[in-house]
Amino acid sequence: MNKKIPFSPPDVGEEEIKAVTEVLRSGWITSGPKTAEFETKVAEYLQTGKALALNSDTAALELVLKAFNIKEGDEVITTPYTYTATASVSIHRGIKPTFVDVKKDSFLIDIDKIADAITPKTKAIYTVDIGGLPVDYDAVREVLKAKNREDIIFVSDSAHAFGAKYKGKRVGSQADFHAFSFHAVKNFTTAEGGALTFANNNFRGHEDLFKQFKLESLHGQSKDALSKMKAGAWKYDIVTDGFKCNLTDIGSAIGLVQLTRYEEMLKKRKAIFDLYSKYLAEKDWAILPSEGDGDTVTSYHLYLLRIKGFGEEQRNEVIENLAELDIATNVHYTPLPMFTLYKNLGYKIEDYPNTYAQYVNEISLPLYSLLTLEDAEYVVKELIKAVEQVRK
């Protein structure tokens, strides 16, 4: 009988269950005191000015566009090598994203090509920290400075990068804004959830950007639910056409416990990452993912293996063969121009050759803090067998 190895189950235990139970019994389960505490603790952990807790990374990405009135007629630059959320938030606002290919043999946007994509209509750039490996944020800023376009808002989709480091500091304050995901498959979870972080609460002359974002995340309502529930405090105003994307105290309670455990969880992920690399470094067909380049340290969210010489069909055969052994693997990501939505918008994968080259032979191995080293060793040995069987 085969060992059953899932791809990425959440690491939640009795402490998280107890914390949720306490919130359920408290009588206050939506955004309230736990969420406020969680926002403070996340900002402290990331050493940044503010952290706004939300229901998703997607909401964080879209709130920036809303708050700065980036809309139809404007342009937003991003990468086609990402999950759809990074680009679809622009589409919601009537903007067709401008895609810049990834750098050759990299999963990260080609910073040297960003300059050529900037036009007078460019209002924002959304880079992506794929697998938890940070983009070179300073290099992006240098491009904007050289183009005399420091007015462009720089947003990092850091969905994967909670706990990653850039030049010795945790990711969360290097771009103008960072969006994080706390979805169930992420390193750090609140079940569903995310956060928007930023260092400057007065960015672009705003009096209190955190307060504005909070307003935008709660229907544009001038009082949050906790304030409204105080006796006699029912009256409120609607001051903007906001969203409804706040994080609950239930999710925040999970997150507060996860924060106390997170550094240990990261160590476990690194140990698995290193074990995979030890075995695969001996194989001339294995193109290993980067842990960082000295300035950057990954959060070990994904193990993005590429198999030299393989095409989609061979890669898919390996995935199927491992699935027969109850080993779940994945692909990160199908490039956006290959999906129906994006094809219908006129994108063609042929225009992004480096993106396609990264995708065509990529296979993501199970990487999570509940995976034992013994089971990780089993996974990598079976992977090697599966690849070498297909290569024959």
The catalytic residues are 186
CA 15 to chain centre: 25
- Token pair, residue 111, equals 């910073």
Outline where DSSP puts E strands in 174-323. 177-181, 194-198, 286-287, 296-297, 303-307
Packing angle of the helix pair 57-67, 85-92 (nearest 10 deg): 40
- Token pair, residue 269, equals 């992920």
Q: Kindly tell me the burial class for residue 163, based on how many C-beta atoms sit within 10 Å of its own C-beta (0-12, 13-18, 19 or more).
A: buried
Q: Kindly tell me the burial class for residue 271, based on how many C-beta atoms sit within 10 Å of its own C-beta (0-12, 13-18, 19 or more).
A: middle
Of 182, 86, 183, the closest CA to residue 129 belongs to 86
Of 333, 290, 286, 332, the closest CA to residue 309 belongs to 286
Q: Which residues, other chains included, contact 114 with Cβ-Cβ below 8 Å and sequence gap of 6+?
A: 77, 100, 125, 140, 143
Cβ–Cβ < 8 Å for 190, 259: no
Distance CA 28, CA 22 (A): 10
> Beta partners for 287?
306
**Is the backbone of residue 193 left (phi > 0), alpha (psi -120 to 50) or beta?**
left
